[in-house]
Chain A
Amino acid sequence: MHFDYTKAEELAAICSKEKFSIGEVCLQREILLQETTREILLEKMRAHYRVMKESIQKGLALTQSSASGLSGGDAAKLFGYANSANPLFGPEFSKAIAYGFAVLEHNAQFGRIVATPTAGSAGIVPACLLSLEEMGRISEDQAVMALFTAAGIGVIIGANANFSGAQGGCQAEVGSASSMAAAAIVEALAGTPQQAINAAAFALMNTLGLVCDPIGGYVEVPCVSRNGMFAVHSFLAAVMALADSRCVVPFDHVVIAMRDIGRRMPRALKETSEGGLATTPTGLKFPPQAIGKQKVDSPS
């Protein structure tokens, strides 16, 4: 199929031949794949972006803790700090962190989110794009196109590794999300496709080895704070790429490294809550909740 690729090298070649951005290649590929129009796909992606923004707004408004008691209300605290007199690195920095928190806190209380690429890493891409939009650096239309850039990078990871914490640890979830976000930031700011691919490489390279050891099996600790932190991580990777700093290991090779590390990672650190943070004295206070016998009768 035209516009199909599984490697960043192939994607870069298509971009350079067609004079397209990664987002545009991803969109063209999708038009062929779904046999539909550009307009329908842009609207579908815009609907996702709106759900993302709504999940941030609702997450920021949370004051109650989740059912487990492990999260809730911290996005609001970060947002409050961002709006305080003299926040470190300016208000945008803390807001980006707050937005990453907000999506995961909203998810932990059964709010609607968009898995990007998974539920546990759903805060990173939205936090980055909404930050750019609010700073006046990009329009909503550009944010929607940037989601196609993010998806375009995700295609490569999906084809050569995976997005599953149970298979590859947190690097496969948050690492993937962060590399997708870094590329999306670069293209939204008019960087070249190669700069976007390099941004993805910087983000993923510096997420390698991250394990999935959530307390009690809940997607809350460390997931909520990790989504805030890796939103910022995505901006760091984008800055490195936009500055054309040397990207020694190409993205395709970083993805292979991620897959290799995921395979060698012990099972106890891959979403089983049998190691790491989950089995610390703190973690053990929150054992995974099984379903016991219960009956709920209707009043009639």
Chain B
Amino acid sequence: MTRSAFDIIGPSMVGPSSSHTAGAVRIGRMAKSIADSPLKTAAIALHGSFAATGKGHATDCGLVAGLLTMAPDDERIKDAIEIAQQKGLSVSFEAADLGEEFHPNTARLTLHSETGNTHEVIASSVGGGAIEIVRVDNFEVCFNGNLDTLVLWHLDKPGFLAKVTAILACVEANIATIQTSRKRRHTEALTVIEIDAPPPDDVLSVMSRIDGVSEIRCVNKLEY
């Protein structure tokens, strides 16, 4: 692996640990983009090492800082829970065993928005501040914020992906990966599409008119 000089000198960060603090901030940031904002409440469950050492490493503050869209080197991270409170966001924490299949540094964020929507995101901090989103609303997914990502909640119908990819083709958006999972045939499904550049805004409104699409989000890539 070829390491950049800036992997060795850097990143600029706050907190004792890149995985437990900086990674937590990035998880919060991604979860907020996936959920419907503005947020009203966040119920956060911490799994494994996140629960065991999370207090000392300020994993809890980091996750909330991310929900408030702070960067990993924001010196307000330590006060994030208080700031959330002032901004009208209620947060709660609990330790939880999410199961063997999850990485030791994993959090589950259940986010309720002011519009009454609820989304649940499970994400892991996999080392050096890198993260992976592994579940969205109980659909198995795998994306990490290195690319701009479209998330579509829809019904499992023939031709759905053809329509979506046709729209992306029209604006010459290059698809890096595409993942679709469904609960059962013809029921709710989730599609995650990683693309090389964010699509123009009107693409989202065109896509939302595809038959069966209930929600759509463009999760921007993490800049740090």
Contacts and interface: CB of A to CB of B under 8 A. Distances in A.
Interface of A: 1, 4, 26-27, 29-30, 33-34, 41, 44-45, 47-48, 51, 68, 107-120, 125, 147-148, 150-152, 154-155, 158-159, 163, 180, 216-219, 288-300
Nearest to B6: A44
Contact of B75 (A4, A110, A117, A180): A110
B14 A219 contact: no
A300 B92 CA distance: 16
Interface stretch (B27-35, B76-84, B204-212): B76-84
Given A4-B2, A155-B5, A108 B16 contact: yes
Nearest to B87: A298
Given A112-B73, A295-B91, 15 more contacts: A48-B9, A110-B61, A114-B11, A116-B9, A119-B16, A148-B5, A155-B5, A155-B8, A159-B1, A159-B3, A216-B56, A219-B16, A291-B94, A295-B90, A295-B92
Contacts of A296: 81-82, 84-85, 90-92
Interface of B: 1-18, 46, 50-61, 73, 75, 77-78, 81-82, 84-95
A45 B14 contact: no
B95 to A, nearest CB: 6
10 contacts: A30-B4, A34-B4, A48-B10, A114-B10, A159-B1, A217-B57, A219-B16, A292-B94, A296-B84, A298-B86
A113 B12 contact: yes
A34 B52 CA distance: 38
What are the 3 closest A-B residue pairs judged by CB atoms, nearest first? A154-B8, A289-B55, A151-B5
A34 B87 CA distance: 39
Contacts of A289: 53-56
Given A112-B14, A119-B17, A290-B52, A151 B9 contact: yes
Residue picked from A115, A158, A219, A295, most chain B C-beta under 10 Å? A115
Given A291-B59, A297-B85, A219 B90 contact: no
Nearest to A295: B92
Contact of B60 (A41, A151, A288, A291): A291
B9 A110 contact: no
A68 B56 CA distance: 8
Contacts of A113: 12-14
A152 B182 CA distance: 48
A158 B17 contact: no
Contact of A292 (B4, B57, B95): B95
Contact of A293 (B59, B75, B94): B94
Contacts of B90: 295-298
Contacts of A300: 88
A151 B53 contact: no
Contacts of B73: 51, 112
A193 to B, nearest CB: 16
A115 B18 contact: yes
Contacts of A33: 2, 4
B17 A288 contact: no
A291 B8 contact: no
Contacts of A299: 85-86, 88
